[in-house]
């Protein structure tokens, strides 16, 4: 099984290799087999990429927005045509089942390219009358934007950052996660094939030190990170040194509240989507499932039956519903949380063990009788581990749901829509669902509050994060000077 790209990096319109960089092996998480050997970017390549981006950006910003948009929309079409091969690559790289990658990764990346391609020509400024004079505003690009990705949605992450950046006239240097470096190279190649001029999209491989070097480089105007809160703290601080713009898409420990009037099947299905998709490696997951006491037994019975029916196996088999975790280290971390939950007194309802096969598989796991003080109710696990907590009334559950430093997402299941809106209105979270979970179409702004992040991706909101406003005051008459 090979997924070796033409070269490790994509710089100034072409694949580039420099074997002097530290080796970076890419493993298939379902087998542990090496599927590609890359090298981290050397300082010389970082220089080339940043200089290319700076050089190309000014011409790009001067292009007609409709032309920029056309290139992005062409890239979206190519991605859709190649969805199958891109999905197989994503599955090899991340271990996520093909059943998911076929519908969630290159397709959502293509949606972002199409959406922002169409958005580009609609961007306008304002005019502000000032009596005889007037003011107008222009939306200008920021310049060179650095994107740094996590390993759970590699194709989607590069597209969610690159599509708005390019649409609004910026250039991009992207560093994928060292665990899943492959698909970003293909996205860069596809954009170039679609007509994107050289230098506007550059992909550099490397570890945290490369990310840190990019964030503090004076040639960089903006940094958008998708990653954990601890990394976010470092990146935000380093960006602050240079007063650079930031978007921080960080982790969560999101609440999903199930009232006892909810549809049982929908609530169970929602909770499973909120915990088991991508083997639980989703930032917005609703990992604290608060179930009202009147529903608890029915909920756990149905949840157990449906969870035990999940088909785990070879992620390349389209019948497989759940694959492995991304790496051995992530699997060990998740197993550590499972052991800790048992020790702290949570009741294991199902799962809790590794699978007896090669690869980094952990069975979908449900703990009941979880209390707010337990480690699995406070820390992000990033694996297929659901915590079910009991509650009695609305005020109580809202206070408990909000008692966390995170604030990425929240969900409510209830048939009483007035209550649904009332509860969501009081939850401290950026991305919320009522009677649904984890749907993130490109039209919807996405991001967190509190320590889960700063800024928003997608929707009209992305304009704020990839442009800046120039204000022009126009004097129409004699200058009224007091001297
Ligand atoms: P991570 O924080 O370990 O790494 C993220 C990226 O940052 C990687 O590319 C890494 O190489 C880089 N990095 C590490 N140290 C750095 C430094 N000092 N300076 C610059 N870059 C550095 O995260 P991960 O383990 O890859 O991903 C999982 C985390 O990402 C989870 O916490 C998850 O919730 C979060 N996540 C958030 C979103 C969102 O949109 N909010 C989406 C997906 C994942």
Task: Report pLDDT digits (tens) over 344-353.
Answer: 999 999 999 9
pLDDT in tens, 66-120: 999 999 999 999 999 999 999 999 999 999 999 999 999 999 999 999 999 999 9
State mean pLDDT over 433-459.
Answer: 98
For residue 134, give the H/E element and its range: strand 133-141
H or E element at residue 247: strand 245-249
Phi first, then psi: what are they for 386, rounded to 5°?
-100, 135
Is the pLDDT at 161 greater than 70, yes or no?
Answer: yes
1 has a pLDDT exceeding 70: no
**385-420, pLDDT tens digit by residue?**
999 999 999 999 999 999 999 999 999 999 999 999
Predicted pLDDT of residue 480: 86
Residue nearest to atom 21 of ligand 1 (CA): 211
Nearest-atom number in ligand 1 for the CA of 230 is: 2
Report CA(141)–ligand 1 centroid distance (Å).
25
Q: pLDDT grade, residue 155 (50/70/90)?
A: very high
248 C-alpha to ligand 1 centroid (Å): 10
> Do the Cβ atoms of 444 and 115 come closer than 8 Å?
no
164 Cβ inside 6 Å of ligand 1: no
Q: Could you tell me which of 428, 438, 476, 137 has the C-alpha nearest to residue 284?
A: 438
Residue pLDDT, tens place only, 244-256: 999 999 999 999 9
Residue nearest to atom 13 of ligand 1 (CA): 208
Per-residue model confidence (pLDDT) at position 2: 72
> Tokens in use for 131?
């009596």
Does the beta carbon of 273 lie inside 6 Å of ligand 1? no
Q: How do residues 295-349 score in pLDDT, each as one tens digit?
A: 999 999 999 999 999 999 999 999 999 999 999 999 999 999 999 999 999 999 9
Whether the CB of 208 sits within 6 Å of ligand 1: yes
The ligand 1 atom nearest the CA atom of 252:
34
Our answer on whether the CB atom of 226 is closer than 6 Å to any ligand 1 atom is: yes
| Ligand 1 site, residue 408, Cβ cutoff 6 A | yes
393 exposure class (CB count in 10 Å sphere: 0-12, 13-18, 19+): exposed
Q: What is the pLDDT of residue 199?
A: 98
Pocket flag, ligand 1, residue 251 (CB < 6 Å): yes
Statement: residue 54 has pLDDT above 90: yes
Structure pTM?
0.98
Ligand 1 centroid to Cα of residue 178, in Å, is: 10
């Amino acid at each position: 099984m090979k997924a070796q790209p033409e070269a490790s990096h994509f710089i100034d319109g072409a694949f580039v290799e420099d074997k002097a960089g530290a080796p970076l092996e890419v493993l298939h998480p379902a087998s542990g087999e090496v599927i590609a050997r890359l090298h981290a970017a050397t300082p010389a390549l970082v220089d080339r990429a940043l200089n290319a981006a700076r050089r190309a950006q000014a011409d790009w910003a001067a292009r007609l927005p409709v032309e920029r948009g056309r290139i992005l929309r062409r890239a979206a079409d190519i991605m859709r045509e190649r969805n199958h091969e891109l999905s197989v690559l994503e599955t090899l790289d991340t271990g996520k089942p093909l059943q998911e990658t076929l519908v969630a990764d290159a397709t959502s990346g293509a949606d972002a390219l199409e959406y922002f391609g169409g958005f580009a020509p609609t961007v306008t400024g304002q005019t502000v009358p000032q009596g005889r004079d007037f003011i107008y505003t222009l939306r200008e690009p920021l310049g060179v934007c650095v994107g740094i990705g996590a390993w759970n949605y590699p194709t989607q992450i590069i597209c969610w950052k690159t599509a708005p950046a390019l649409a609004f006239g910026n250039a991009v240097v992207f560093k994928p996660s060292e665990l899943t470096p492959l698909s970003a190279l293909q996205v860069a190649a596809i954009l170039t094939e679609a007509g994107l001029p050289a230098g506007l999209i550059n992909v550099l491989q490397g570890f945290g030190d490369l990310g840190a070097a990019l964030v503090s480089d004076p040639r960089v105007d903006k940094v958008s990170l998708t990653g954990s809160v601890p990394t976010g703290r470092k990146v935000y601080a380093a960006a602050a040194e240079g007063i650079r713009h930031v978007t921080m898409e960080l982790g969560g420990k999101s609440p999903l509240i199930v009232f006892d009037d909810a549809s049982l099947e929908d609530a169970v299905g929602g909770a499973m989507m909120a915990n088991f998709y991508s083997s639980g490696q989703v930032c917005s997951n609703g990992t604290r499932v608060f179930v009202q006491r009147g529903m608890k037994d029915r909920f756990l019975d149905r949840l157990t039956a449906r969870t035990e029916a999940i088909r785990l196996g070879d992620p390349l088999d389209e019948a497989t519903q759940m694959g492995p975790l991304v790496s051995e280290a992530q699997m060990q971390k998740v197993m550590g949380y499972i052991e800790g939950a048992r020790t702290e007194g949570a009741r294991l309802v199902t799962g809790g063990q590794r699978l007896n096969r090669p690869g980094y598989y952990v069975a979908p796991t449900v703990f009941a009788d979880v209390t707010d003080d337990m480690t699995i109710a406070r820390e992000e696990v990033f694996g297929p581990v659901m915590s079910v907590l009991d509650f009695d009334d609305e005020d109580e559950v809202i206070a408990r749901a909000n008692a966390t430093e995170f604030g990425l997402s929240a969900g409510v299941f209830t048939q009483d829509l007035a209550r649904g809106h009332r509860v969501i209105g009081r939850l401290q979270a950026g991305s919320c669902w009522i009677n649904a979970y984890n749907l993130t179409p490109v039209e919807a702004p996405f991001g967190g509050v509190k320590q889960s992040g700063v800024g928003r991706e997608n929707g009209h909101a992305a304009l704020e994060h990839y442009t800046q406003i120039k204000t022009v005051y126009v004097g129409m008459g004699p200058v009224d000077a007091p001297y």
